[in-house]
Amino acid sequence: MPAPSDRAALVRRARKRSRPTPHRYRRLAVLVVVAGALLGSLLVTAFGQGAPEIVPQTLPPPASRLLPAAPPTPMTVALHGGLRIQLPLARLAHKIFGGGHGHFVYYQLNGGETDVLDVGAAPGTDVYAPVDGTITGISDFILNGQAFGSRIDIQPSAAPSLVVSLTQLSADPALTVGSTIAASSTKIGRVIDLSVVEKQALARFTQDAGNHVALEVRTAATVTP
């Protein structure tokens, strides 16, 4: 039988062995936190497999925040043979075209490659001449049997056999048939709001109603009065 002093020493050693050190406590806490995080990840993964993946997308800013106050810097946004179509707005909000490449993003709305260019802009945005040339016609733009704004026809100096027509805008009061215009310099009108009369295809790609100015290139013989 151990002496009392030996028995006390054995009890102290047993208590010391049964008491975890502070270091072991700290390590146990860290392992619990890590295990909890892993469990949470596993639960999210397991229960999220059937759900569709949500990928954040950066959308273009609303065109209402991009109202220009000065003529645009000359910039070619489309080509038709040797004819260069210049950006008609001081700042590009959204550009939709049949197809293409370069520094812009192109979206196809309908059909194949076309000769129509839609440039997104808020109502009231100033529109400038997309080519050097002469105004050959200013008429009403007819939509669903009603007049909404104007159609402006331009004979380009670089391609007299063609006509560049712009719609979805109101003609500038100073503009007349026979006026000589300069690309990216002469103001020819302002974008109008057509969202109240039609669902605009451009709206599928923007954060607004999809208003825009439309440019179309045709041969002079196909332009109707």
pLDDT digits (tens, 9 = 90+) for 139-169: 999 888 888 889 999 999 999 999 999 999 9
- Domain 66-222 annotated CATH 2.70.70.10: yes
Mean pLDDT of the chain: 69
Distance CA 122, CA 190 (A): 9
pLDDT tens figures, 100-115: 344 444 455 554 445 7
User: Tell me, what's the pLDDT at 197?
Assistant: 73
Distance CA 134, CA 79 (A): 19
pLDDT tens figures, 30-45: 323 333 333 333 333 2
Distance CA 225, CA 223 (A): 7
Residue 216 pLDDT exceeds 80 = yes
Q: What is the mean pLDDT of residues 171-198?
A: 91
* 3-class secondary structure, 87: coil
User: Tell me, what's the pLDDT at 205?
Assistant: 67
Q: Name the residue among 118, 145, 124, 130 with its Cα closest to residue 204.
A: 118
Q: What is the mean pLDDT of residues 14-29?
A: 44
User: Tell me, what's the pLDDT at 169?
Assistant: 94
pLDDT tens figures, 42-65: 333 232 333 333 333 344 444 444
**Domain boundaries defined on the chain:** 4-47, 66-222
Sequence-ordered alpha helix ranges (H) in the chain: 4-18, 22-47
Distance CA 6, CA 2 (A): 6
Question: What does pTM read for this prediction?
Answer: 0.60
Return the ∠ at Cα 102 (arms to 93 and 202), rounded to 5°: 35
Distance CA 97, CA 119 (A): 9
